[in-house]
Amino acid sequence: MTAAATLPPALPGLDPAWSRLVRVHDAVLGREVVHHVLDTEGALVAAGAEPVGTILAVHGNPTWSYLWRALADESIERARAGAPAWRVVAVDQLEMGWSERTDAVRRVADRVRDLGALTEALGLEGPVVALGHDWGGVIVSGWALEHPDLLAGLVLTNTAVDGHAALPAALKAALAASSVGTEHTTAFLDTTLAIAHPRLDPAVRRAFRSPYRGAARRQGIREFVADIPSTDAHPSREAVDRIAAGLAALAAPALLLWGPRDPVFQERYLHDLMRRLPHAAVHRFEGAGHLLPEDADVAGAVLDWVVAPTPARSAPGAVVPAVETRAMWAELDARADDDAPALVELHGDDTRTISWRLLARRVHELAAGLHAIGVQRGDRVSLLVPPGADLTAALYACLRIGAVVVVADAGLGVQGLTRAVKGARPSWIIGIPTALAAARSLGWPGTRIAPTGLSRLARAALGVEHTLPELARLGSGRALPPEPAPETLAAVLFTSGSTGPAKGVRYTHARLAGVRDALVAQYGIDRGTGLVAGFAPFALLGPTLGCRTAVPDMDVTRPATLTAAGLARAVAAIDADAVFLSPAALTNVLATDPDPAEFDGVRLLLTVGAPVAAPLLDRAQEVLRNASLRTPYGMTETLLVADVTREAIHEAGEGDGVCVGPPTARAQVRIAPLDDDGRPGAATTTDADVTGEIQVHAPHMLAGYDRLWRTDAAAKAGTPHEEWHRTGDVGHLDAQGRLWVEGRLPHVVTTADGVVTPVGVELAAQRAGASRAAAVGVGPRGTQQLVVIVEGQAGPLADPALAAAVRLEVDRPVAAVLAVPELPTDIRHNAKIDRARMARWATGVLEGGPVTTP
């Protein structure tokens, strides 16, 4: 049944002034038809802004142009604020939204032609950025390929062009339901709207449904579903294949935005698009799903991208001066005939010693074996093996042949690991049986390789195709491929997830080797060093540093499981003179009756993972009597930024934060001052006593975040020729050039009297008698109240005497002093307090809600 195009009624978030009806000649019917579009040109002109280009936005099924209302609104707001003005034209496809119902069957090719006729009628001139969601992505891709003279870029969100892939269950169900679920009932429409994350506001759901009241107005929904090329004989198969092939030759900049929780366009479709558009920037919005423009800030991402410098639209990577450096495996090659111990593992009563000769041979054999089974340069290999000989050998073997190692901490938990592995999309997984069982049950991608031999039954159950011993035998005597270039990608290392979903941090071979070189330069670690790696990442650096390494008996996912006896045994096993520990591991060592005499050979203790206050180091000095105690400051993104000794911490005295010392010789630090709203500005300084976001520049910093284009772009400062990493940490430099860390940017408390950073407050609470404390803000930004939460009491109110002491020591208005038995911390370090979680808990307590353990 035909129906005329109309303007939509008043709907939330939709300015009636954007709506217009456009008459277009229709090639299908041979007559004029009417499209409804949202067009912000008039609003931009009224704001005195001259558009620099157009974003052509196309919805999918069963949505309509309402999907792009946030994009239209933000484009206008940014133009009013002085940003480049981008006109937004969001179309309602024929038979959809408020456009005309023509009662014609429209295939993909027809819809591409419809869009071309519409843009011609609108008189669109370049530059045009084409944007599509769902099946609108296919349509707008077809338009983009046919209008290269207008095209400035292509943005695709949760869509697919691979018509030959097996259809997801959700689409199969929609096809099976036919007209019953799509036209005669609202089942398909309701299901689509129900999978938003978070759930859509009822008024927004009604707005999406408004053009589809009555079966006659839902014929387009039915036809769109029926047009999915489910077989080779489908009428639209040829058109979709042509578009898919065309994308592989597209030279224009591209951006792929994705919601991983999509049951329809699953991540395999994202990776197909990445294969076709290898130059595309990618951003995965963790937690978002199919209705991505409703779930996440797609509008902001698109508008950031269209004004970004062209290099930032391709695979992101920070620009830093090139540094001459040895390959990560060079030390192994040099010591291939050395029978001295390279690695010692301690498990219970067992000790396993691996010589340099054996390790070097194993790395060579595994590298050749991996290459022989088809592991290619650039392939991603997920390593899900605890620190030790197997992980070390596999890691260096992958690096040697140019495969990209993906390392995610088991402490992320099953859900966190699933996000990490699926996001990185490895082609291969090397994992212990528990990890491979999770891979099998949770659908982690990658051919599975076990580190040790398994029974036939276990191999079948876990889907294991190879084992490391088999690969070593296969690689024995085989030559290795050419070495990878220094600037090629070497590793994706996932952050701890302590401040949100874990992020993949990209390192090239040169930058990874730069980490090693920075450690050598700062601490003099060399072939004569015996290193106890009680902090997992450093167990992997031992072979490239050239030092003998011991992995102590502990659960690496729980650093606090290291005991004094376990550390002493590891020190004795290699006559260690250097020890790397997290603060949580050090705390437990000191709490389990250490004998100082067992540690007199240790000359260097590094506590890494979180800033460490002087009292803990003082206790440690009583045990490690001959050691220099140092606390490097860094992060997964830049592992060594600053360094401070225990003596220097005492010399610095008390201050607003933790003193982490001056920047290292290979790192530069500057500060972006905070405004009254707690946000860093564009200006930077190295002046003393200015609190702001800490920015870092170093040859060993990250090359970028993996498949997180917007996060990566936001974390960059400076120029393309001298990029700085925005750490998200807050601090200041003092008059002696020492860096003080005051907390994390999201945890800054914005009171009516100014910003308050948390670490100084927490240290003051500890001086008042609290074992640990969390300083958080409660209430609206700008008028937040400072709340201090102390550890070690049942709560929720702290003991009055302790509360009074805290208020006195903090010396600023404190709205409440609350208490909990134990403050929650991050998984990897067991040291970083989860302030966001505590802020939510404190808000509930102060609002009179139920008191539950945070």
Two tokens, residue 681: 């500005």
Question: CA nearest 558: which of 350, 351, 409?
Answer: 409
Q: What percent of the chain has pLDDT above 70?
A: 94
What's the one-letter identity of residue 440? R
Distance of CA 286 to the CA centre of its chain: 8
Indicate whether this model's pTM tops 0.75.
yes
Helix H or strand E segment including 247:
helix 237-247
CA atoms within 13 A on the CB side of 826: 21
Q: What is the separation of C-alpha 266 from the centre of its chain, rounded to a whole number of angstroms?
A: 18
At residue 825, does pLDDT exceed 80?
no
Residue 106's nearest CA partner among 207, 187, 33 is: 33
In sequence order, the β-bridge partners of residue 692 are 673, 731
Lowest mean pLDDT of 98-102, 494-498, 567-571, name the range: 494-498
Q: What are the start-end ranges of the H helices in 347-388?
A: 356-372
- Cα distance between residue 363 and residue 341, in whole Å: 15
Beta-carbon contacts of residue 848 (< 8 Å; ≥ 6 apart):
none
- The model's pLDDT over 497-534, given as tens digits with 9 standing for 90+, comes to 666 788 999 999 999 999 999 999 999 998 999 999 98
Of the listed ranges 116-120, 383-387, 846-850, the one predicted with least confidence: 846-850
Q: Which of 440, 407, 406 is nearest to 426 (CA)?
A: 406
Average pLDDT over residues 184-200: 95
Q: In angstroms, how far is the first alpha carbon of the chain from the final one?
A: 58
Q: What are phi and psi of 719, to 5 degrees?
A: -115, 165
pLDDT in tens, 216-263: 999 999 999 999 888 888 999 999 999 999 999 999 999 999 999 999
Paired tokens of 420: 């990490």
- Which pLDDT value is given to residue 318? 41
pLDDT (0 to 100) of residue 724: 96
What pLDDT does 320 receive? Answer: 44
C-alpha to C-alpha distances, 628 to 155, 248, 545, nearest whole angstrom: 53, 57, 20
Tokens representing residue 675 in the block = 């405004």
pLDDT band at 32 (very low <50, low <70, confident <90, very high): very high
Residue 1: which pLDDT band, with cuts at 50, 70 and 90?
low
176-207: buried (b, 16+ CB within 10 Å) or exposed (e) per residue?
ebebebbbeebebbebbbebbbeebeeebbeb
DSSP states of 21-66: EEEEEETTTTEEEEEEEEE-HHHHHHTT--EEEEEEEE--SS--GG
Written as six digits, the tokens of 659 are 């003193």
C-alpha separations of 684 from 173, 177, 659, 689, 695 in Å: 55, 59, 20, 13, 9
pLDDT of residue 831: 56
pLDDT winner (highest mean) among 52-66, 213-227, 257-271: 52-66
**Are 485 and 395 contacting, i.e. CB atoms less than 8 angstroms apart?**
no
343, 541 contact by CB (below 8 A): no
Which pLDDT value is given to residue 615? 86
* Cα atoms in the Cβ-side hemisphere of radius 13 Å centred on 202: 0
List residues bridging with 81 in a β-sheet: none
The pLDDT-based confidence of 324 (bands split at 50, 70, 90) is low
pLDDT of residue 847: 87
708/296 Cα distance (integer angstroms): 13
Q: Work out the number of other CB atoms within 10 angstroms of the CB of residue 6.
A: 14
Quick one: pLDDT at residue 722? 87
Q: What is the DSSP letter of 104?
A: -
What pLDDT is stored for residue 804 in this prediction? 96
pLDDT band at 319 (very low <50, low <70, confident <90, very high): very low
Q: Cβ neighbours of residue 641 under 8 Å, at least 6 residues apart?
A: 632, 633, 634, 635, 660, 663, 664, 667, 669, 696, 698, 727, 739
Q: What is the pLDDT of residues 599-627, one digit of tens each?
A: 999 999 999 877 677 889 999 999 999 99
pLDDT at position 811 is: 87
Decide: 548 and 572 in contact? Cβ < 8 Å: no
> What is the average pLDDT across 93-119?
97
- pLDDT beyond 70 at 310: no
- Looking at residue 720, its pLDDT comes to 75
pLDDT band at residue 314 using 50, 70 and 90 as cut-offs = very low
Contacts of 480 (CB under 8 A, 6+ apart): 364, 367, 368, 371, 400, 401
- Give the pLDDT confidence score for residue 414 in this predicted structure: 83
Torsion of CA 796, 800, 803, 805, to 10 degrees: -160
* Interatomic CA distance for residues 439 and 417, integer angstroms: 10
For residue 752, the tally of other CB atoms under 10 A from its CB is: 11
Chain centre to alpha carbon of residue 651? 38
Closest listed residue to residue 318, CA positions, set 663, 745, 641, 638: 638
Cα dihedral sign, 419-421-427-428: negative
- For residue 3, the cross-strand partners are 101
What domains are there in the chain, each with its CATH number?
17-313 (3.40.50.1820), 651-743 (2.30.38.10), 748-846 (3.30.300.30)
Across 10-21, average pLDDT? 97
Residue 520 burial (CB count, 10 A): 16
* Residue 581 near residue 604 (C-beta atoms within 8 A): no
Residues 6+ apart with CB under 8 A from 666: 514, 517, 518, 521, 522, 640, 698, 699, 700
pLDDT at position 845 over 60: yes
What residues are paired with 776 via a beta bridge?
787
HSE toward the beta carbon, residue 848, CA cutoff 13 A: 0
Q: Which of 497-501, 627-631, 658-662 has the lowest mean pLDDT?
A: 497-501
The answer, yes or no, to whether residue 486 has pLDDT greater than 60, is: yes
Residue type, 505: V
* Cα–Cα distances in angstroms (integers) from residue 331 to residues 298, 371, 542, 548, in the given order: 47, 21, 10, 12
Q: What is the mean pLDDT of the chain?
A: 92
